[in-house]
Amino acid sequence: MRGSPRILGIVLAGGEGKRLSPLTQDRAKPAVPFGGNYRLVDFVLSNLVNAEIRQIAVLTQYKSHSLDRHITTTWRMSSLLGNYITPVPAQQRLGPRWFTGSADAIFQSLNLIHDARPEIVVVFGADHVYRMDPAQMIDQHLQTGAGVTVAGLRVPRRDADQFGVIDATAEGKVKSFLEKPSDPPGLPDSPEESFASMGNYVFTTEALLDALRADAEDDSSVHDMGGSIMPMLADKGEAWVYDFGTNKVPGATERDHGYWRDVGTMDSYFDAHMDLRSVSPIFNLYNDRWPIYTLPPQLPPAKFVLGGRAEDSMVSAGVIVAGGTVRGSVVSPGVRVDGASYVEDSVLMDGVHIGEGAVVRRAILDKNVVVPPFARIGVDHDADRERYHVSAGGVTVLGKGARAIVD
Binding-site sequence positions: 164, 179-180, 197
Contact in structure between 50 and 305 (CB atoms under 8 Å): no
Q: How far apart are CA 147 and CA 178, in angstroms?
A: 18
Residues 6+ away with beta carbon under 8 Å from 309:
321, 325, 326
- Count CB neighbours of 180 within 10 A: 11
d(CA 327, CA 277): 10
Q: What is the widest separation between alpha-carbon atoms in the chain? A: 68
How far, in Å, are 266, 267, 388 from residue 391 at the CA level? 6, 7, 10
Is residue 375 within 8 Å of 357, Cβ to Cβ? no
Annotated binding-site positions for alpha-D-glucose 1-phosphate: 164, 179-180, 197
Element (H, E) at 398: strand 396-398
CA–CA separation, 356 vs 338, rounded Å?
A: 5
Of 2, 25, 39, residue with least CA distance to 389? 25
